[in-house]
Amino acid sequence: MTDRPAIYPARRAIERAVAAPGARPTRLFGVLIPIWRVEVSATVTETEPYEVFDQFVTRGIAEAGLRTPGELVRFFGIEPTIVDRTLRFLVSLGHVGWTGTELRLTALGEQSAREGVRRIVREDRRRLYFDGYTGGPLPTSHYTGVTYLRELSWRGRDGTEFRAAGLTNPFPAAEIEALLARPDRRAFNISDGVSSARAISTQQVWLPAYLVQDAGPLRMQAFTMASERRDQHIELVCADLGEALREQEDREDPMTTWRNWLTARGFPTVTPQRMANGVLRATLPPSAFRRPFALYQLGSFEPYRRSFMQLWCDDPGLRREAVLEQLLNATAGRRTMSTERTQEMAERLSARLEVPPPTPDEIRSEVKPD
């Protein structure tokens, strides 16, 4: 495995879940989604421009009725070795058939001649991904930049535990043919040139995902490395996981859990409050964000035992300082980030911390975007 994280920290998923319009998020689960990784042998037809003399020979056979190499030599007035080399190439492509007495275009050669492009049929090996719950294919967004794990359980860099949930169904081999028949197959990583495919090997792997249960109309939000926002495809795949997730829940009341968590960090008198969207918030003194917490944690969310809580401070000046601190952390190490993207991030952070967004001059002074 490379140094690239299989998924980002849970805090970021919670921030996105809370920001969704109408959201009432209640629980967060680190889940390993079962995925079938299927290597297939596919028949692929590609098109490319003709070489000039290849096209002349093809048209000579198709349109001028030239049936022997000698006729082609005389018709074009060119060296026999050149004609022979061109015919051998067209035969290797499956465009020309030679019976020993006469030349004929194959069906592929006739199609190429009609379309004016050289069609090439080849065998290609590629991977396809299908989810282990419904057996359906994963969209193209779930190929590049997504890490699939082999472990049945896994811990993220921030300590979040990921476990398999629900039952994995056997891979339905008929799904490959069904995928090729879909009119929208390009959205599932099957190009137009693929005409057939057969499975060579099948391996089970796991996709790390955050599933956030919601007491509102969203019901469940999913987050993976396949999308900057909600992964709505995985949400559909996991729509029936409610019972399996309930088995992973901590039975302790979240309010008790977080009171104990705050007491262990030196704040026994702080009682979390529920905000209008049902999310717990602990209001701490400004000194708390020097120790034990860092300034970047102000306004963000702490995940713990399938639950989460926002750390808060009533000091608007400190919250505005936290916006700039978090903006600096978010842009550090990035070679380029447009001014527009930086301003958009600043507005999002300011909305979460309930302060006016920093001015462009403040951003340039603190962050210095490219």
| Per-residue pLDDT at 154 exceeds 80 | yes
When the pLDDT of each residue in the chain is averaged and rounded to a whole number, the result is: 90
CATH of the domain at 104: 1.10.10.10
Does 25 share its domain with 172? yes
Q: Give Cβ neighbours of residue 233 (< 8 Å, ≥ 6 apart).
A: 138, 139, 141, 142, 226
First to last CA, the chain: 32
157-185 average pLDDT score: 92
29-41 average pLDDT score: 96
What is the residue-wise DSSP string for 26-64? EEEEEEEEEEEEEEEEEEEEEEEPPPHHHHHHHHHHHHS
What separation in angstroms does the CA of 260 have from each of 257, 267, 285, 362?
Answer: 5, 9, 18, 39
Q: What percent of the chain has pLDDT over 90?
A: 63
Model confidence band, residue 203 (pLDDT cutoffs 50, 70, 90):
very high
Does 153 share its domain with 237? yes
Q: Which helix (H) or strand (E) holds 123?
A: strand 118-131
234-257 average pLDDT score: 85
pLDDT computed for residue 1 by the predictor: 42
CA nearest to 105, candidates 70, 76, 71, 64: 64
Does 308 share its domain with 323? no
Residue 77 DSSP symbol: T
Number of domains the chain contains: 4
350, burial (CB in 10 Å: exposed 0-12, middle 13-18, buried 19+): buried
| Per-residue pLDDT at 86 exceeds 70 | yes
Does 24 share its domain with 128? yes
Residue-wise pLDDT tens digits, 306-357: 999 999 999 999 999 999 988 888 777 565 667 788 888 899 999 999 999 9
Does 265 share its domain with 307? yes
| Per-residue pLDDT at 59 exceeds 80 | yes
Does 34 share its domain with 135? yes
In a domain, 146, yes or no: yes
Q: Tell me the residue range of the domain where 14 lies.
A: 10-43+124-246
pLDDT computed for residue 335 by the predictor: 57
Higher pLDDT, 25 or 369: 25
In a domain, 69, yes or no: yes
Collapsed DSSP state (helix, strand, coil) of residue 168: coil
Torsion angle, alpha carbons of 241, 39, 223, 293, to 10 = 110
In a domain, 346, yes or no: yes
